[in-house]
Amino acid sequence: MLITIIAIVFAASFLLVYSVLHIVALRRDPVRARLEQLAGNAGVSTGGGYDLRDSLLRKGVNLLASNVQNVSSTRERLARAGYLRHGAAYDYYMVTFIFMLVGLSAAAMSGMLLHLSTIKIVLMAGAGSVLGALLPRLFVSYKISKRREAIRQAVPNMLDLLVVCVEAGLSFTAGIQKLSEEMRSGYPELAQELKIVTQEILIGKPKSEVFRMLANRTEVEELRALAVTLIQADRLGTSIGNSLRVLADSMRFKRRQRAEEAANKVSVKLVFPLVLLIFPELLIVLVGPAMINIFKTLQNVAK
């Protein structure tokens, strides 16, 4: 009963503190809110205003993180997972800390309910806190791999549409901007990255540098090949449309090869469930009645 009361008090206190911080965070300058709305979700930071929740998170992270490079590497990793908001790193640390507390509390309560010794309870609490700290990291790793695969599947279609836009008379930058709008419903991950590319090109960054940064941010080899193709087309003065068409054909062929490879692996992957899950039950169903009849016959003969 005491443990239940402690858990309820902890949950109520956490919800109360988070609600107060959230309400205070919403009371910001309306000009800054409008600028953030116009900036979208491209990770553009706007100045002005004061966010108490973000300030407290920054102070807590600065106490926990060893240096500023730790926070910047976490921010880059979250950007690969699609979390491009400026305060995503601090939210990630806050969620990690909450999961550590939850894991520690759950492990300690389980140890007390099982009437374990103090040393075992401490060890269980440490293991629970470590597990709680690893869960957000594993989730982010899953999001990174899933997002990378979605972008890899969408690149050939993006190149085909970009070739059409360039040959229709649009400039390369206008074509990228058009694709970031048109692909938002079908391929939101790639559309988000193309929106960032468009903003970086509009502020004056070279196209080769922008797409090199895109390849490093997403870690997709197809986008790295696109960056190399654009650099070579810029240096040699060749047509971007022809270069993109050749690159799109090669990427479409690679995607077909990956699909065929995955289809060929299906037969091998089906061996283990067939042998371990299906064949034993099938053997019991087919041979079971015959074995029962044989056993009964042997009993009658023995009598």
Record the tokens describing residue 131, joined without a space. Answer: 């597990």
For the chain, what is the domain count?
2
Asked if the structure places residue 119 within a domain, the reply is: yes
| Per-residue confidence band for 139, with pLDDT thresholds at 50, 70 and 90 | very high
Asked if the structure places residue 140 within a domain, the reply is: yes
Residues 113 and 176 in one domain: no
pTM: predicted TM-score of the whole model, two decimal places: 0.64
- The share of the chain scoring above pLDDT 90, in percent, equals 1
List pLDDT tens digits, range 188-202.
888 888 888 888 888
List pLDDT tens digits, range 14-30.
655 665 565 555 555 55
Residues 132 and 154 in one domain: no
Residues 101 and 186 in one domain: no
**In the chain, where does DSSP find H-type helix?**
2-26, 30-39, 52-64, 68-80, 88-113, 118-167, 172-182, 188-202, 207-218, 221-236, 240-269, 271-273, 279-302
Asked if the structure places residue 292 within a domain, the reply is: no
Asked if the structure places residue 298 within a domain, the reply is: no
Considering only CA atoms, which of 49, 52, 48 is closest in space to residue 28?
Answer: 49
Residues 117 and 102 in one domain: yes
Q: How far is it, in rounded angstroms, from Cα 143 to Cα 80?
A: 8
Residues 17 and 129 in one domain: yes
